[in-house]
Structure 1
Amino acid sequence: MTDYQIDPSLQQSVPSAEERMEEAYGALVREREEGIAGYYNLPEDSRLVIDEVEAQAASTPEIQAADTIVVIGIGGSSLGAKALDQALRPLHAGAKRILFLENPDPLELQAKFARIDKSKSLFLVISKSGGTIETTSIFKAAIEHFGLEIDGADRKRVIVITDKDSILNRYADDHGLQSYLIPHNVGGRFSVLSAVGMVPLTLAGYDTRAILEGARKLVDDFFGRRADHLLRKGIFLAEHWERYRINVLFAYGSYLEDFTKWYVQLWGESLGKIDAEGKRVGLTPAGHIGSVDQHSFLQLIIEGPRDKSVTFLQIADFGEDLTIPRISLKHIEKNDYINGHSFAELLNAECDATRESIAGEGIPTDLIRMDRLDEAHLGELILYYELLTSIVGAALHIDTYNQPGVELGKKILVTKFQTKD
């Protein structure tokens, strides 16, 4: 179970808030019914992907022998799976290792190549468009470094995930590579519950069906009007974005760091747009880890510009009872009040105290409190943020699913290299 607590100040909106909620809800219903955004259907549709992956694994010795999944992809093609892998790995010691080759940083690539044994690895090449320059470049480097025989002995070690009829899909067909398709109406940053995330996570050994089930329950609750807290929060953020321009996600759990990075891409790429009237709109995302960043960013929140809203993400049960020893240190006895309490108690008390201090300053806050960190709760969390993003986008009257600002930089990059040639 996940509990959602919205601070009273975050529920205050304009007199037309209820109308705006209905308008945003209707927009998401239309997106779902007309197929404008396909992520709403992934919790059901991706079950077939899992079935196919498991069947392939059962009949492929190379997959059975592999202990490492090498994901070659960037942005939406890697961040979601990376977030789930990081969050779940402490609970699944037997999961196969996943290495993410994302950034064309030569030092990092060489270091990661050195950790890969081709004979025990699978290579997943992920690109929705099929032509992502970072991904294709790293794939070429892997082919050369490991001597991958794409048309021979290593064919079953390489799996492609892309759009139907993309240039990467055509490459896979030409070489007889196993490929999985991303639905055409699912953008990269909304694709973690598609083959993009389900294939590597299933191969690694995680319970991906539970991830989908957690997501499905929230989809059903939202469209069944049992999760209107999402609408209230989304409308507040959209109505007051010019005052509260920055939305801070404070996650209290070290293994949620990659989740905050996924949220930053989802939020920034979806909500920073020019609207139909030519106005620049959007909310800036900031992802932080408690309690570490309490010792830095919190100062800016409390005494800096009042341009932020803050969401706290808390885990009720870490499944770990590590306790602070009953030891008294000379001259530091003032801290003995914490002796005998668990570190989970300490971390969550810090979360509660920080939220109380921020809310006391009149800064809008809300809390997402998960019972525990597992597949079902994380699947729900993924859908929570995807739905919230769509609600805010609908309320801002923008196209939540395009990214013209990103595409411009890609075009300029191409011209730079073409000019050099």
Structure 2
Amino acid sequence: MLQYENDFIWNKDVNITALMDDVYQKLVTEKESKIAGYYTLGEDSLPLVDHVLENSQTNRYIQQSDTIVVIGIGGSSLGTKAIYSVFKHRYKNAKRMLFLENPDEIDLYEKLASIEKEKTIFIVVSKSGSTIETISIFKEIISRFYLNYEQQDRERIIAITDFDSLLYKFAQYYKIKVYTIPDNVGGRFSVLSAVGVVPLTLAGYDMKSLLSGAATMANSFFEKKENHLLEKAVFLTSHQKEYPMNVVFSYANCLEDFTKWYVQLWGESLGKINKNAQHVGLTPIGHIGSVDQHSFLQLIIEGPRDKTVTFIKLENFEKNIKIPNISLKFIEKADYINGYTFNELIDGECEATKESIIQQGINVDEITLDRLNEKNIGKLIMYYELLTSLCGKIFNIDTYNQPGVELGKQILLKKFN
């Protein structure tokens, strides 16, 4: 279960109800016209889970593996990595997952040194099929591990890409297993497609429950039962000039990669030139509580009043570790927390931080997960994807393209030619 609350201070001239109704209808139209296909992935991807499980039963390389290597960057890896980071502590018998994203030679060297070819499945993920970082790392893997992709090693390689992309053609030519991403699902919205479903299912994670959670959120929204999403989108966009930054404080270490996924989703989708030739967007800032509140909170409280703050809080960590009833000489002032659990401590810090921010007149909202399970994370993923689309509609932009990123790719191409 997810719970939501906010302490927004509205401008009086914002017609909240009219904007909410208008943007809701725009998303309904977008869904029905299939401009964006992520809305139904919670249901559409269920048969894919069964297909992957069936294939794994007949592939001896998968049966013998203990590691899944995901080669991808941005939307091809961030969502998958976020889910893995949330649940890896619970899945003791799952296969290890390794993410090769950045062409950082130090990081790449260390990760490649930990790979044992005979126990590894390599999954190369690129929506376009030609992402330069991904294909370059894939080439290094082929060279380093003498990966014979033309014959016996083809069964330890999986490609995930758009239908008929260059990577798709490569995989088809060499009879490598390939899964496709729906044409109307952008990379940063693709975690609930083959991009996330295939590697996480192969690793042993319960993707059906996660997809079920995502479907529940999407269906509930389109049944008009999630008006808090509409309200939040209207508030953030209508107050963009006053509060151009949204800070997310996730109060659980395992949500760090989820927070990074949010940063990409928010930044790449909403930072655009709109149809009125205006530069629009909301700058995403991701932090982990209580660690980062010891640095960034000062800026929020006494710095420029140009931010909204979202708290993501976990109600039950399910470990029940108590702070020992020990009094340390000279440090007795810390004894007030003795006997409480660490869960109670981090929850108290979250609430105290939120209250201190509200007292300063800063706009705050909170998402509470009652516990860390697949359905809740599926709901949370769909929550942020829906929120992104809503904001994009109000901004009057194409939420799903990324011309700014493409410009950088064109410049890089010229540098090496």
Same fold (TM over 0.5): yes
Cα deviation for residue 13 of structure 1 reads: 6.1
Question: Which residue of the partner structure matches residue 308 of structure 2?
Answer: 309
Write out aligned runs for 1:195-214 (5 A).
Answer: 195-214=194-213
Question: Which residue of the partner structure matches residue 124 of structure 2?
Answer: 125
SS in 1 for 2:399: coil
Write out aligned runs for 1:125-164 (5 A).
Answer: 125-164=124-163
Q: Deviations over 1:52-75 (max 9, x none)?
A: 100100111111111000000000
Q: Deviations over 1:348-380 (max 9, x none)?
A: 100000001001111000010001111111010
> Would the aligned equivalents of 2:273 and 2:280 in 1 still touch at CA under 8 Å?
yes
Identity of aligned residues (%): 56
Question: Which residue of the partner structure matches residue 329 of structure 1?
Answer: 328
SS in 1 for 2:246: strand
> Would the aligned equivalents of 2:317 and 2:371 in 1 still touch at CA under 8 Å?
yes
SS in 2 for 1:312: strand
> Would the aligned equivalents of 1:5 and 1:366 in 2 still touch at CA under 8 Å?
yes
Question: Which residue of the partner structure matches residue 6 of structure 1?
Answer: 6
Q: Distance in 2 between matches of 1:252 and 1:310?
A: 13
SS in 1 for 2:144: helix
Cα deviation for residue 85 of structure 1 reads: 0.2
For 2:298, give the aligned amino acid: Q
Question: Which residue of the partner structure matches residue 258 of structure 1?
Answer: 257
Cα deviation for residue 23 of structure 1 reads: 1.0
> Would the aligned equivalents of 2:192 and 2:211 in 1 still touch at CA under 8 Å?
yes
Q: Deviations over 1:215-235 (max 9, x none)?
A: 011011100010000000000
> Would the aligned equivalents of 2:326 and 2:335 in 1 still touch at CA under 8 Å?
yes
SS in 2 for 1:372: coil
Cα deviation for residue 14 of structure 1 reads: 3.6
SS in 2 for 1:249: strand
Write out aligned runs for 1:6-45 (5 A).
Answer: 6-9=6-9, 14-45=13-44
> Would the aligned equivalents of 1:316 and 1:372 in 2 still touch at CA under 8 Å?
yes
SS in 2 for 1:52: helix
> Would the aligned equivalents of 1:271 and 1:281 in 2 still touch at CA under 8 Å?
yes
For 1:134, give the aligned amino acid: E
RMSD of aligned C-alpha atoms? 0.8
Question: Which residue of the partner structure matches residue 242 of structure 2?
Answer: 243
SS in 2 for 1:206: coil
Q: Distance in 2 between matches of 1:54 and 1:370?
A: 29
**Structure 1 residue ranges without an equivalent (≥5):** none
Q: Deviations over 1:145-196 (max 9, x none)?
A: 0000101121110000000010000000000000100000000000000000
Q: Is residue 2:101 matched to residue 1:110?
A: no
- Structure 1 runs, 4 residues or longer, greater than 3 Å off: 11-15
Q: Distance in 1 between matches of 2:14 and 2:42?
A: 35
Question: Which residue of the partner structure matches residue 341 of structure 1?
Answer: 340
Using the size of structure 2 for normalisation, the TM-score is 0.99
Question: Which residue of the partner structure matches residue 287 of structure 1?
Answer: 286
Cα deviation for residue 84 of structure 1 reads: 0.5
Change (3 A) 1:225 1:275: same
Q: Distance in 1 between matches of 2:12 and 2:213?
A: 30
Question: Which residue of the partner structure matches residue 173 of structure 1?
Answer: 172
Cα deviation for residue 15 of structure 1 reads: 3.8
Q: Deviations over 1:320-360 (max 9, x none)?
A: 11110000000111111100000010001000000010011
Q: Deviations over 1:368-415 (max 9, x none)?
A: 000111111101000000000001111111111110000000000001
> Would the aligned equivalents of 1:290 and 1:351 in 2 still touch at CA under 8 Å?
yes
Number of residue pairs aligned between Structure 1 and Structure 2 = 417
Question: Which residue of the partner structure matches residue 394 of structure 2?
Answer: 395
Q: Distance in 1 between matches of 2:12 and 2:107?
A: 47
Q: Is residue 2:185 matched to residue 1:186?
A: yes
Write out aligned runs for 1:342-357 (5 A).
Answer: 342-357=341-356
Cα deviation for residue 12 of structure 1 reads: 5.6
Q: Distance in 1 between matches of 2:246 and 2:96?
A: 33
Question: Which residue of the partner structure matches residue 360 of structure 2?
Answer: 361
Using the size of structure 1 for normalisation, the TM-score is 0.98
Q: Deviations over 1:104-138 (max 9, x none)?
A: 11111111111000000000000000010000000
SS in 2 for 1:154: helix
Q: Distance in 2 between matches of 1:191 and 1:178?
A: 19
Question: Which residue of the partner structure matches residue 317 of structure 2?
Answer: 318
> Would the aligned equivalents of 2:14 and 2:238 in 1 still touch at CA under 8 Å?
no
Cα deviation for residue 8 of structure 1 reads: 4.2
Change (3 A) 1:175 1:98: same
